[in-house]
Amino acid sequence: MARSAVGKFAFVVAIAALALPPAAQPQGFPSKPIRIIVPYTPGSPNDVLARLLAQQLQGKLGQAVVVDNKPGGGTTIGSKTAAVAPPDGYTLLFASSALVIEPIMTKPVEYDPLKDFTPIAFVARTSSMLTVNAQVPANSANEFVAYAKANPGKLSVGFAQGTVSQLLAEYFNHRHGLDITSVPYRGGALVIPDMLGGRIHVYWPTPATVLPLIREGKIKALAISSPQRSPDLPDVPTMKELGLDELTLEFWAGMWAPAGVPADVVEKLNAAVNEALQSSDMIASMKKLGFESRIASSQDFAAFVAAEIPRWTAVVKASGVKSQ
């Protein structure tokens, strides 16, 4: 080949190299859509919160973020699916306190909340309430306890299995010696229609879930698990005021990934979640749902989760609850 021809060939190769598509170059995270597994039914508070966060994350990460509902088995089905996913940051788990509660209640489960997941970010917290349907002739927690004792076996309580709602319900009943029938559901949102229809008498939801129904008089709120009374329901006493300090427990939710996700991916996801939580739209949406955001590093979230396990272990043992 002549020297001039070689020169022309080299020039063409160089131009061709510059024209290669971006896919031929090393790419940073994320380079494809992200899936968030939500082990709750569509329409439940956790699901709504996860979808709001997913919308925000799409803009922060520049990729589609898809919610994949996998309810069932308390929350173990979805959690197990996330635990065995590739540790590349493209499969995440949005879960609540149930992630640490289920392994305490169900032995064995096929994952360890500390060993099989990488904490990404704290997302939200809220409280739970003791509520009864309008047909129950009780307007205070003491009246409810008295009525339940006078009518053993006639009342029923609904809850999503393996959740804070179940634990609080069973603990309260055990503490007061109440004979109330427990009715597990695949998701908390499914309890409300039966409660309004009179088939379920008692439910322990998050406040925002039933606030409109409380204001309409269809459901009565008798006590709340938050440290202080809720500004939305100032007449509802706290568990502490009722002498039940051990039930001053908050519902919390966060984001996890399978164990082994690279540290730089964890850092990027944590930053994106925290940025999303500080957006005005997200703050307003969470307030409507009754959630309060909590900004924290992945390390702080990991420490918090580790501290919650012995706390909930004590509650589970005292309540005598075991998942079926």
Rounded to whole angstroms, the Cα distance separating 225 from 247 reads 6
pLDDT given at position 310:
85
* 17 has pLDDT over 60: no
Q: Which two tokens stand for residue 58?
A: 């799409």
Which carries the bigger pLDDT value, residue 104 or residue 254? 254
* 294 has pLDDT over 80: yes
Domains of the chain: 34-125+251-319 (3.40.190.150), 129-247 (3.40.190.10)
* 145 has pLDDT over 60: yes
pLDDT given at position 84:
97
pLDDT given at position 23:
33
**Beta bridge mates, 219:** 133
Predicted confidence band of residue 5 (pLDDT cuts 50, 70, 90): very low
- Lowest mean pLDDT segment, chosen from 15-24, 97-106, 249-258, 265-274: 15-24
Query: What rounded mean pLDDT belongs to the chain?
Result: 88
pLDDT given at position 3:
44
Q: Fill in the amino acid letter for 297.
A: S
pLDDT given at position 280:
93
Predicted confidence band of residue 323 (pLDDT cuts 50, 70, 90): low
pLDDT given at position 44:
82
- Lowest mean pLDDT segment, chosen from 10-24, 198-212, 234-248, 295-309: 10-24
* 12 has pLDDT over 60: no
Q: Where are the beta strands (DSSP E) in the chain?
A: 34-38, 65-69, 91-96, 117-126, 129-133, 156-160, 181-185, 202-203, 219-224, 251-258, 292-293
260-278 tens-digit pLDDT: 999 999 999 999 999 999 9
Burial class for 54, CB neighbours closer than 10 Å (0-12, 13-18, 19+): buried
**Which DSSP letter does residue 218 get?**
S
Global confidence as pTM:
0.73
**Neighbouring residues of 148: CB distance < 8 A, sequence distance ≥ 6:** 155, 173, 176, 178, 179, 180
